[in-house]
């Protein structure tokens, strides 16, 4: 995660453990309207060869903690990634070849309002198809 230009924010802990002096905690935190936000770059690590493979896709914007989902297919030769945009009105599903880093967007769900999604809302099938949960009709449905 690249947070180099993200502006820090501080919190004050008035009564820290074993001390009577307040303690300041500072960390990088993007606020609405900030120019710089944390960006994630996907990397596949081969545990056997110790090779690092960079996924050929633009960096993901940070939206909220743990919103990115990754799933292997049963054969172990494809990785799926789900992520949303910062405004949470677009949801993307990628298929990634872990041996080359090639990535292809196979689904992009858009809405004029917030897209509600929970993990997991996706299931890869053995034949290459996938099941996708969506509320695009206004009601929750599973799509093949």
Asked whether residue 64 falls in the same domain as residue 120, the answer is yes
pLDDT of res. 63: 67
Whether residue 84 is found in the same domain as residue 125: yes
Task: Mark whether 49 and 79 lie in a shared domain.
Answer: yes
Assess whether 33 and 75 both reside in one domain: no
Q: Is the pLDDT of residue 134 over 90?
A: no
Which comes out higher in pLDDT, residue 64 or 43?
A: 43
Report the C-alpha gap between 5 and 115 in whole angstroms. 28
53 and 7 belong to one structural domain: no
Pick from 93, 103, 98: nearest CA to 124: 93
Residue whose C-alpha is closest to residue 124's, from 90, 84, 89, 76: 76
Whole-number pLDDT of residue 64: 61
**What is the pLDDT averaged over residues 81-104?**
89
One domain, residues 81 and 124: yes
Same-domain check for residues 31 and 76: no
Q: Are residues 98 and 60 in the same domain?
A: yes
**Together in a domain, 30 and 46:** no
For residues 76 and 12, the model is more confident at: 12
Structural domain for 23, as ranges: 1-37
How many domains does the chain contain in total? 2
Q: Whole-prediction pTM value?
A: 0.76
* Paired strand residues for 133: 142
Residue 31 sits in the same domain as residue 48? no
In a shared domain, residues 33 and 43: no
The secondary structure of the chain as a DSSP string is -B-TTPPEEEEEESS-TT-SS-EEEEEE-PPTT-S---EE--EEE-TTT--EEE-BSPPEEP-STT--EEEE-TTSS-EEEEEE-TTS-EEEEEEE-TTT-BEEEEEEEE-SSPPP--S--EEE-TTS-EEEEE-TTSS-EEE-
71 and 9 housed in the same domain: no
């Amino acid at each position: 995660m690249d947070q180099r230009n993200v502006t820090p924010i501080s919190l004050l802990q008035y009564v820290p453990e074993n001390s009577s002096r307040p303690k300041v905690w500072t960390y990088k935190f993007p606020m609405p309207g900030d120019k710089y936000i944390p960006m994630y770059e996907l990397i596949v690590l081969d545990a056997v060869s110790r090779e690092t493979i960079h996924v050929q896709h633009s960096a993901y914007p940070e939206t909220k903690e743990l919103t990115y989902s990754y799933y292997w297919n049963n054969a172990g030769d494809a990785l799926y990634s789900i992520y949303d945009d910062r405004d949470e009105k677009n949801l993307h599903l990628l298929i990634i070849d872990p041996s080359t880093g090639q990535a292809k967007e196979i689904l992009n769900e858009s809405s004029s309002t917030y897209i509600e999604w929970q993990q997991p809302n996706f299931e890869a099938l053995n034949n290459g198809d996938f099941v996708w949960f969506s509320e695009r009709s206004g009601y929750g449905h599973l799509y093949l």
